Structure 1
Amino acid sequence: MKTYICAIGTANPPHKIPQMQVADFMSNILQFDERESRKLQALYRVTGIGQRYSVLEDYTRDNGDFTFYPNTPTLEPFPTVQQRMGVYREHAVTLSEQAIRECLEQATHTNIPDITHLITVSCTGMYAPGLDIELVERLGLPTTVQRTSVNFMGCYAAFNALKLADAICKADQDAKVMVVCTEICTIHFQKNTEQDHLVSNALFGDGSAAVLVQGKPSADVSLELTSFHCDLAPDGKSEMAWHIGDTGFEMTLSSYVPELIQNGIKQLTDRLLEGLKMKVSEIDLFAIHPGGRRILEVIEKELGMTRDDNRFAYEVLKEFGNMSSATVLFVLKALMKTLTPQQQDEPILSFAFGPGLTLESMLLKVHYANA
């Protein structure tokens, strides 16, 4: 049995913030002197990010005109987890709905009442009754739709959701599974001058991506889910972590993460491809989660890729930043839009990474209905 990604929809909140404007905001709030500000601006410039999106307009405003953060020089009293979860709940449903509706606009012969399964993915907010039930109500999905939530798994979580969708469709060829990954990262800004926090504040943005997975291809282009492989690099579990603190979710993202990924990516790829009797040199299409510019560069070096091979990842990183679990689906969407019937059956290699340190890989194949 085969399963296919038949459509991908995406959504972002309305506030588009230039990267260097975020750098200025952070410098002011952290009360950096001129030397510290220059160093922070240099960090923001080398990320490869041009802009990010946020549900919070505060990042575009001067201190004294905030609506979420306190209008004090140090943002005290700093917003609590409860306040941040209130913002998450306010915006997550709307973003998810927008992504799902865009996804279904592209899907042929699939409408909202046809959806049999809903998988919601997020690591930036939780509540119950949760996002899944609110989407059932907002979209008018059947109350009998089967719901699953994948929570707090970080940037690689879309792979777990796709594996689950793949298993569901292989068990039931009539299943139509909607996966939606929604992350509101920017509500978790931590007022901390440690390097890990400075780096994470420089990378993450808000976004949602929805994917329709089913046992039959679409009438146009689809992506066949061919194979998955996951591995752990336990030595890196303290280098990338995600904890709930008193004032939000706290990201640990050390400078050693690219090195850890570089050390594990070749073995991960070989294990994914060995059962398919395929080599990386035979693959021309890539959809890699842009966890950061340096991560993309070390993967290119280790696998013998060019920057052009990684162009979709760089494009998403520049336009949106790192949106955690939704990001790799933005990359797949960008790639999917460029495909032609001449690329029928071409393989696509995809990676994502997250806490653990977890390394996820996936192989897809281009499918055209009339090729």
Structure 2
Amino acid sequence: MSYITAIGTANPVHRFSQSVIADFMLRTMRLSAGDARKLKTLFRASGIDYRYSVLEDYGKTGDFSFFSKIADAEIFPSTQDRLRVFKQEAPSLSVAAVEDLRGAYAVDLRNVTHLIVACCTGMYAPGLDIDLVRMLGLSTSVQRTAINFMGCYAAFNALKAADAFCQSNADAKVLIVCTELCSLHFQATGTEDNLLANALFADGAAALVVESQRSNGLNLALETFHNDLSAAGEQDMAWTVGDLGFEMRLSAYVPEIIRSGIASLTGALLSKISKKISDIKHFAIHPGGKKILEVIEQELGITRAQNHAAYKVLNHYGNMSSPTVLFVLKEVIDGLTKKNVGEKILSFAFGPGLTLESMVLNIENA
């Protein structure tokens, strides 16, 4: 068995209300009157109050720094421009998440044997993993794994890899870092995909420690995983590299595709441990959008109150892609006490493919 023994999160310094971001979008996207109304409706219905960005431009009415040429579509920031900012900003945000973890759990990074970095919003080489080795003072012989371009469900793949490392090495201590700067990839064209993405995505980072042995305090045992693909949703969620940043395909049909597969996914997962949904006390569901949360509740027969952690993260941070479900998990953990030992956490995330990931965590004491 392997255990999550520490968790930390971080966001950039720039925090904007959803209404301020909507004003920025309306000024810069050159929308028709109909699309402007659609954007306003999406923002109002998003369930989001605040989002974070490494860019200050989202809170400005002019004199932009990164989007300084936004009035001229021909010189809208290129992919190269955006990845330059990613390389500048992603390492420090990642370190902030690890420092949050160290502050809360007194983790000794000198004992880290493996580093897993998950990201889908930027890339360079030598990469973020090597920058973190240097900035965190990790051993230069730490085993490094990069999980790229998997989107919102990447944390699950990182946890599966960490679990495998721990299962094969009793001394393994795995540091996972999920960092995304989604706001770098703002697209000004008023397509349905862009309107949806511009209403949801934000920046953030999360870090976890996974170990072969329990640590002091509460631990989360990685009890079981299950994943599936919905071929019907292959064209409804995608993430591609364009000339002017990374481009999101995010269909309004995604919640209905998740609705069609979530019950069977959950049944297959829980059958591995001979449990039913009524046996689950806690939920850490990736808030890909408010509608996604609602259809999961309907299909599984759980209440909004049981799913409160997902709504709180969506409201305060938006969708940050891969770290988001870890923000939700941290929200759940922060509400646990020793009285919860023996109870289980059910977690989901979704992404391109359309991929459905799930896991069960068992709450244990040291």
CA contact (8 A) 1:107 1:218 kept: no
CA contact (8 A) 1:180 1:209 kept: yes
Give a deviation string over 1:164-218, Cα, whole Å, max 9, x none: 0001011111111000000000000111111111001100000000000001112
Distance 2:66 2:192 in 1: 25
Distance 1:36 1:246 in 2: 24
The farther-off stretch of 75-84 and 178-187 is 75-84
The farther-off stretch of 196-205 and 75-84 is 75-84
Distance 1:98 1:72 in 2: 31
Pairing 1:78–2:76 present: yes
Pairing 1:254–2:251 present: yes
CA contact (8 A) 1:185 1:206 kept: yes
1:356 counterpart SS class = coil
1:127 counterpart SS class = coil
Q: Return the letter of the residue paired with 2:78.
A: T
Deviation at 1:139, TM superposition (A): 1.1
Q: 2:119 aligns with which of 109, 118, 122?
A: 122
The farther-off stretch of 205-214 and 272-281 is 272-281
Q: Return the letter of the residue paired with 1:22.
A: I
Q: Return the letter of the residue paired with 1:3.
A: S
Deviation at 1:31, TM superposition (A): 2.5
Deviation at 1:103, TM superposition (A): 1.1
**Could you tell me which residue of structure 1 aligns to residue 181 of structure 2?**
184
Distance 1:36 1:191 in 2: 12
Distance 1:343 1:181 in 2: 27
**Could you tell me which residue of structure 2 aligns to residue 57 of structure 1?**
56
1:161 counterpart SS class = helix
Q: 2:140 aligns with which of 124, 138, 143?
A: 143
CA contact (8 A) 2:202 2:320 kept: yes
CA contact (8 A) 1:55 1:186 kept: yes
Pairing 1:217–2:214 present: yes
**Could you tell me which residue of structure 2 aligns to residue 97 of structure 1?**
95
2:118 counterpart SS class = strand
Pairing 1:290–2:284 present: no
**Could you tell me which residue of structure 2 aligns to residue 362 of structure 1?**
359
Q: TM-score w.r.t. structure 1 length?
A: 0.97
Distance 1:3 1:128 in 2: 31
Deviation at 1:34, TM superposition (A): 5.3
Give a deviation string over 1:23-53, Cα, whole Å, max 9, x none: 1111111223555433321210100000100
CA contact (8 A) 1:117 1:176 kept: yes
Query: Which runs of 5 or more structure 2 residues have no equivalent in the other structure?
Result: none
**Could you tell me which residue of structure 2 aligns to residue 235 of structure 1?**
232
Superposition pairs of residues 187-202 of structure 1, within 5 angstroms? 187-202=184-199
1:324 counterpart SS class = coil
RMSD (CA atoms): 1.1
**Could you tell me which residue of structure 1 aligns to residue 337 of structure 2?**
340
2:75 counterpart SS class = coil
Distance 1:138 1:35 in 2: 48
Matched-pair identity in %: 54
Query: Which runs of 5 or more structure 1 residues have no equivalent in the other structure?
Result: none
**Could you tell me which residue of structure 1 aligns to residue 64 of structure 2?**
66
Q: TM-score w.r.t. structure 2 length?
A: 0.98
Q: Return the letter of the residue paired with 2:86.
A: Y
Distance 2:319 2:64 in 1: 24
**Could you tell me which residue of structure 2 aligns to residue 107 of structure 1?**
105
Count residues with an aligned counterpart. 366
Deviation at 1:70, TM superposition (A): 2.2
Q: Return the letter of the residue paired with 2:208.
A: V
